[in-house]
Amino acid sequence: MARNVLVVDDSAFMRNLLKQLLEDDHEVVGEAENGVEAVEMYRELDPDVVTMDVVMPIRNGIEATSEIKSIDPDSSVIMCTSVGQEEKMREAVEAGADGYITKPFQKPNVLQAIDDVVGVEA
Amino acid sequence: MKVYTSNQSTEQSTSERVKVGVADYAVTESGAELVTSGLGSCVGIALVDTETGIAGLAHAMLPAASDGRSQTDGGGPDPMSNDAKYVDTAVNGLLREMVDAGADRSRIEARVAGGSAMFEFNAGDGAVGERNVEATEEVLGEHGIPIVATDVGGDHGRSLSFDVSSGTLSVRRAHGDTRDL
Amino acid sequence: MNLDIQSLRTFSDLAHSGAEEAAGSLTALTGFDARVAVTKIEMATRSDVEREFREGDLVTVHIGFSGAIAGHTILAFDRERAVELVDALVPGASDNPESDLATSGLKELGNIMLGGFIDGWADFLGDGIDITTPTYVELDADRSLEDVVTPEGSSDVEAEAAELETELDTGHVLAFRNHLETINEEAGFYIYMLPTHDSVDTIVDAAGDSGDTIPVETFTSFSEMITEGAGQASEDLTAMTGIDTTVDVSRLSFVPVEGVPMELTDEARRGVVLEFTGTPSGYIAILFDHDSAESVADALMPGMDSDPAMRQSAIQEIGNIVTSGFLDGWANTLETTIEISPPTHVDDIASAIVDPLVTELARTQDYAFLIDSAIVTPDETFTCDIYALPDERELRAAFDQLAPEQQAN
């Protein structure tokens, strides 16, 4: 089923790419450029799932994930990053991330991650 | 937390030309052109199964893995060392990959080029080019693979282009002289 | 900062697998079929790195890193290639290559490729490395690396970058240079990594074989010795030809043996190959492109109607002189003698010329120290490329001879 997705990435190119990739199956309800915007937009939009870049200006994705999880423990956050270091993945787990996608990703990876994290049923 | 990585196999190249580096080999199933350049004493070994079109090209530096690094470097072969550097391990690796891809050993034929003697060095024990060619003949002989054409020896460099669809190995010298094997 | 061969190998392997990771990302994102051609570790000065960017007219994406190790990584590609990439990433955006979306595409490509490049180092060290957001830079003649290394990201990274900048200013840094190429193009992509001295120490501690280290100052002295040798060779060339020459490039790098021929063109080159014996022994190739060889022969025999044999002899003599100029300083500094063989004339595929030299070395070593220099004339009359390949173990022996002298200074 279609989910409301908040896309968080400082790269306009990457937000665009994710939007195109998700548009057939889900709805991108918001786009944030940094961790601060991400938290504000999460409060405002209450999306089903967040795709979260890690390295961003102002506030990084790990910190933003921690905060979103403290606001809403039932939130679903999927890290979506070019950083594939084991140590960074551990940090993401500690922050409460539900999934971790490394860039470059392919459409099935992203769709599968969303299904796994929020479930396929209504 | 589950980690999703995309499958990035660099092997499944679909391009029309595949460049083989020094101490490197490549196999194609799609009729791509295999190219390698700058053979001096190195030897280029082109194999093709004429029926399936599965083909490979190797660019090897030295005759045998056992002939490579000496014991003075800590003893024994370096685990990081590259199979494609040596004629024996390169041919074995190339054949294995071709057979895995569906080639039939009994249909494979070989073309060999390179192994020249451009310089006479005092320090070396010489004739690496010649020994590379001998090693190639030996290891292909062990596998029962016929060598249908060669352009080896001499005192000049070569660059190779293997047109898999026709089985032609083009050998180019400096200043454009080309010979088809 | 001390270096040992095992650490250099580890560096080389990490840089190579990181570059392969990056090449895979490039292919996945753009469809460009890229592969890693050569991975080199260079002892570079700030001006070396700057010149490479400027002369190549390279467009670059920069990412700083800090944490387990710190420094800077740079993805560089030529301008034309940048436009092709933008088209592949954001179809249509290349009509307006300065647009935010176009540069955003390139920055994200840099982010993904350089992120993948760094991951392997972090995993090797079992620790995390933070990276900054990417910066897009066109390095033209008016900009220096200083502008580029100035970071935007976190203050940690800023401090580390300032440290790297100081090191760049004061002398040599270790630079990891990875050349990626696509099948039909020689010129491709470059990934540079410039770690701070402390970071080099961190990796040496993790990888190194403490028994056999060489202080980095020794590499620096050797690097200077090479620069002086190239300077002498340039002076000798000028004296013989009557044409002003300068040393354009002079560097020491550490590279897998099979990477050396791949550094050279597949075009024909003329020149000489010589063998030298002593501490160290090794091989040297002095190469000219066709027009340069003709110009040099003309300059040596002005107004003479020389036959080809005479011209060949002139090139051989130039090879002798340049080699002596290049190596005599080494012998003097190392207080040893280096014997030089008679020159063998070559006119062949450049990569095939060095192939037999490297093959000789490959019998006993997997990695080579490559010294490459270019001597040029300001009016572009000719370019002379010098490649020297000393025996690794003998070069280390030479380093050991250098070390006590430094302590005395």
Chain C residues in contact with A85 by the CB 8 A cut-off are 118-119, 122-123, 128-129
CATH number of domain containing B134: 3.30.1330.200
What's the rounded Cα separation, in Å, for the pair B58 and B26?
Answer: 7
Q: Is C107 on the interface with A (CB under 8 A)?
A: yes
Instruction: Read off the tokens for C367.
Output: 């990695």
What's the rounded Cα separation, in Å, for the pair B61 and C174?
Answer: 29
Q: Is B121 on the interface with A (CB under 8 A)?
A: no
In a domain, B1, yes or no: no
Strands (E), C108-226: 129-131, 135-138, 172-182, 189-195, 213-215
Where is the domain boundary, C155, C189, C208? C208
Find the catalytic residue in B26, B42, B84, B87: B42
Burial level of C307, CB count in 10 A (0-12/13-18/19+)? exposed
Residues C204 and C221 both lie in one domain: no
Q: Are strands B33-39 and B17-19 parallel, antiparallel or unpaired?
A: parallel
In a domain, B8, yes or no: no
CB spacing of A83 vs C25 below 8 angstroms:
no
pLDDT value at position B77? 42
Spell out a b/e string for C251-281, using b for 16 or more CB atoms within 10 Å of the CB, else e: bbbbbbbbbbbbbbebebbbbbbbbbbbbbb
| DSSP conformation letters of C98-116 | TSHHHHHHHHHHHHHHHHH
CATH number of domain containing C354: 3.40.1550.10
Averaged pLDDT in 10-residue chunks for chain C of 409 residues = 76 84 82 78 73 76 87 84 79 72 83 87 87 76 49 50 60 75 68 84 75 69 83 87 85 87 91 90 94 88 77 86 85 82 92 94 88 88 91 81 54
Q: Is A109 on the interface with C (CB under 8 A)?
A: no
Residues C227 and C359 both lie in one domain: yes
Chain-centre distance of CA C377, in angstroms?
Answer: 21
Residues C377 and C231 both lie in one domain: yes
pLDDT value at position C393? 84
Q: pLDDT per residue over C312-371, tens digit each?
A: 888 888 888 888 888 888 888 777 888 888 889 999 999 999 999 999 999 888 888 899
In a domain, B119, yes or no: yes
pLDDT value at position B170? 95
Residues C219 and C361 both lie in one domain: yes
What's the rounded Cα separation, in Å, for the pair B158 and B151?
Answer: 9
Residues C191 and C221 both lie in one domain: no
From residue A96, alpha-carbon distances to B3, B173, C98, C295, C350 in Å are 14, 62, 38, 69, 56
Q: Is C158 on the interface with A (CB under 8 A)?
A: no
Spell out a b/e string for B30-51, using b for 16 or more CB atoms within 10 Å of the CB, else e: eebbbbbbbbbbbbbbbbbbee
Q: pLDDT per residue over B19-77, tens digit each?
A: 899 999 999 988 889 999 999 999 999 999 989 999 999 999 999 877 654 434 443 34
Q: What percentage of chain B carries pLDDT values higher than 70?
A: 84
In a domain, B2, yes or no: no
Range of the domain at B80: 17-180
Number of domains forming the structure of chain C: 2
Residues C274 and C356 both lie in one domain: yes
Which chains border B (3 or more CB–CB pairs < 8 Å)?
A, C
Residues C193 and C223 both lie in one domain: no
In a domain, B6, yes or no: no
Chain A residues in contact with C132 by the CB 8 A cut-off are 55
In a domain, B130, yes or no: yes
CB spacing of A109 vs B3 below 8 angstroms:
no
Of the residues C29, C65, C119, C123, the best mutation for testing chain A's interface (the one with the most A CB atoms within 10 Å of its CB) is C119
Give every CB contact of residue C327 below 8 A, 6+ residues apart in sequence. Answer: C229, C276, C284, C338, C340, C388
Instruction: Read off the tokens for B139.
Output: 């290891």
Q: What percentage of chain B carries pLDDT values higher than 90?
A: 63
Residues C361 and C377 both lie in one domain: yes
88-107 of A, contacting B, C-beta below 8 A: 89, 92-93, 97-102, 104-106
| B33 included as an active-site residue | no
Go through the domains of chain A in sequence order and give each one's CATH number.
4-107 (3.40.50.2300)
pLDDT value at position C159? 58
In a domain, B169, yes or no: yes
Spell out a b/e string for A37-48, using b for 16 or more CB atoms within 10 Å of the CB, else e: bbbebbeeeebb
Q: Is A84 on the interface with C (CB under 8 A)?
A: yes
Residues C192 and C301 both lie in one domain: no
> How would residue B138 be classed by pLDDT, with cut points 50, 70 and 90?
very high
Residues C235 and C130 both lie in one domain: no
Residues C32 and C137 both lie in one domain: yes
pLDDT value at position A70? 94
pLDDT for residue B14 is more than 70: no
In a domain, B3, yes or no: no
pLDDT value at position B12? 46
Residues C255 and C274 both lie in one domain: yes
Number of domains forming the structure of chain B: 1
pLDDT value at position C210? 59
What's the rounded Cα separation, in Å, for the pair C283 and C275?
Answer: 5
Q: Is A108 on the interface with C (CB under 8 A)?
A: no
- CB-closest option in B68, B80, B122 to C363: B68
Range of the domain at C153: 2-208
Chain B residues in contact with C283 by the CB 8 A cut-off are 121
48-87 of A, contacting B, C-beta below 8 A: 84
Q: Is A83 on the interface with C (CB under 8 A)?
A: yes
What's the rounded Cα separation, in Å, for the pair C282 and C263?
Answer: 18
Q: What percentage of chain A carries pLDDT values higher than 70?
A: 98
pLDDT for residue B79 is more than 50: no
Neighbours of B122 (CB within 10 A): 10
| DSSP conformation letters of C51-98 | HHHHHTTEEEEEEEEEESS-EEEEEEEEHHHHHHHHHHHSTTGGGSTT
What's the rounded Cα separation, in Å, for the pair A82 and A101?
Answer: 8
Q: pLDDT per residue over C217-252, tens digit each?
A: 777 777 788 888 888 889 888 888 888 998 887 888
- Residue from C62, C63, C104 nearest C85 by CA: C104
Rounded to 5 degrees, what are φ and ψ at C196?
Answer: -75, 165
Rounded to 5 degrees, what are φ and ψ at A39?
Answer: -65, -45
Rounded to 5 degrees, what are φ and ψ at C381?
Answer: -65, -45
